[in-house]
A and B are shown apart, each in its own frame.
Chain A
C-alpha cells in the first residue's frame, strides 16, 4: 500500500540519528516535501535546512558536507516500503496513522 502523497494530505517524518562515534545529531526528513532539517549542535547551534533532495541524497549530503554519518529509514512512498539504512540500533519507533476518506463515485 502506498504511503501517500502530499496532495492526498498525507504527511510523514523520518527521524535519522548519528551513527556511533559521529557528532551527535538528529535529522528529520519529510518525504512528501522532499526536504529535511539537520540538528547537529556540536557543529552548529542553528538548524540546517536542506531542500529539494531525496532522503538518500539528504543522508549523503550530510555525510559529505557535515562529516556526520546517519542511520534511519529510507521511505519509498509509492511502494509503501521503508528500508533501514545504517548499523543496527538498540531501539527505534514506528508510528503510523491511516485515515480513510470515502465518497460516492460519479458512476451512474
Chain B
C-alpha cells in the first residue's frame, strides 16, 4: 500500500482575468505610459503574465496633479464619515473579490495560495475596515500634541512606494490610513508585482471613489525616484530596502516633505531553554520560511540557548522535512517560489558566503521544479555573529542559528545589528518576556509567536530599519500634519 501522498490540489486561475497589457491609473482613467513597458512574470513558471506600462516623469507629474486636484476639489472637503463610506465599500469589495485577488497575487508574486488566501487578503480587508472606522473619529484618536476634539489636518498629496514581498498588503498599509486621514495618493507598486495594485484600481472604480484620490503609476526605480523628488508631493511613505530608503532620505533632507521609511531587518528569534519547544519550532518555521523568507521582519537569526540548541535544531530539521515546497497554486504548498531571478541570485550569493565563511549548511530535502526561481529551505549552524549571513539581510528562506548562555548574552547578540525591526522571545517565564522586551531595540517584539500582524498594532523600526509607524493610532499620526 502506498503512503499518504497528497494529490495535487490546484486552485483554479479561471477566477481572475489577466489582461495582456495594463496602463497607468491616473485621474480615474487607465492611460498609456510614456516610458515604454515592462513584462511581469510568474516566478514559479517564468511565464510572462502581462505587459505593464512604465510611467515617465511626465506621467508621474500628471498623477501628482490629478491627486492634487482631487485633494482640493473633493477629498479634503468630504467629512470623515463620507470618506469612511468609501473605505468600508473598498473593504467589502476586497472580501467579495478575495479569491480573485489571492490568485492574482500568487501568480504575480510566487507566494503559496494558502498564504495569499489566508493571510494577505484577509489582512488587506482588515486594514481598510480598521481605518474606515477611524475616518470620522480622528479628533478623538489621541494623536500626539493635540487636544481632544481638535481636527487633525492631512498632508495633502502622499507619494507611496511599496515592495514586492506583500504587494497588495503593503498597498493596504499605505492607502488605507492615507485616505482615512483625508490625503490623496500616488502609489508606485514594485516592478515585479504590479498586477494586484492594478486590480485594486478597478476596485476603487467599483467603489465609486472620486477620480484622482488613488493614482497608480507602475514602473521601476526611475519611476519611484521621479515620484519621490516631485515637488508637488507633501509626504513620502516607503517600504523597501535600506539602500533605497537611504537615497530617499537624502533626496528629502532639508525639504518640507515628511517621510516614513520601513526598511530592512535582521530579526533575532530568541529561544530560551524553558520554551514550549514544539510551538517554538513552529514559530521558527513561521518566522523565516513564511513567504519564502521575503519578509522584512523575518526571524532570520535564531538565537537558541546552548542547553537546548541541539534538541531545537534536530526538531527544526525534522519539521522542515515535512514542508511542501513547489507549485504556489497548489493549496497544500507551504513554501512557494522566490520572487525574481535577481533575488534568487542574491540569496544564492549570500548562502554561498555562509559556506565560505565556515558555517555549516543544511538543506531541507525537497524536489524543486525545473522552471521558475526556487531556493530550498536552508539552515546554517555554527554561525558566528561576524559572518555575513548573520549580519546582512538575505530576504530568503535561509536561517542562521547562533547560541547563547544567559539572557544578557541573548540581548547583546540580538541588539548587535544595524537593524531593529522585530524580535521574538520564546519562554514560558512571563517576567523574562517583559525584561527582554524592555531592552530589545526593535519596533515589534513578539512573545511566543512570530510574524503576527494586526491593523490595530503599530509596525515600524529602530535604527536602519527606518522610522515612522504603520497601523494603529501611531500609523494615523504619520498621515496628519504635526500640531
**Is the A/B pair a real complex?**
no
Taking Cβ atoms with an 8 Å cutoff, the residues of B that contact A are none
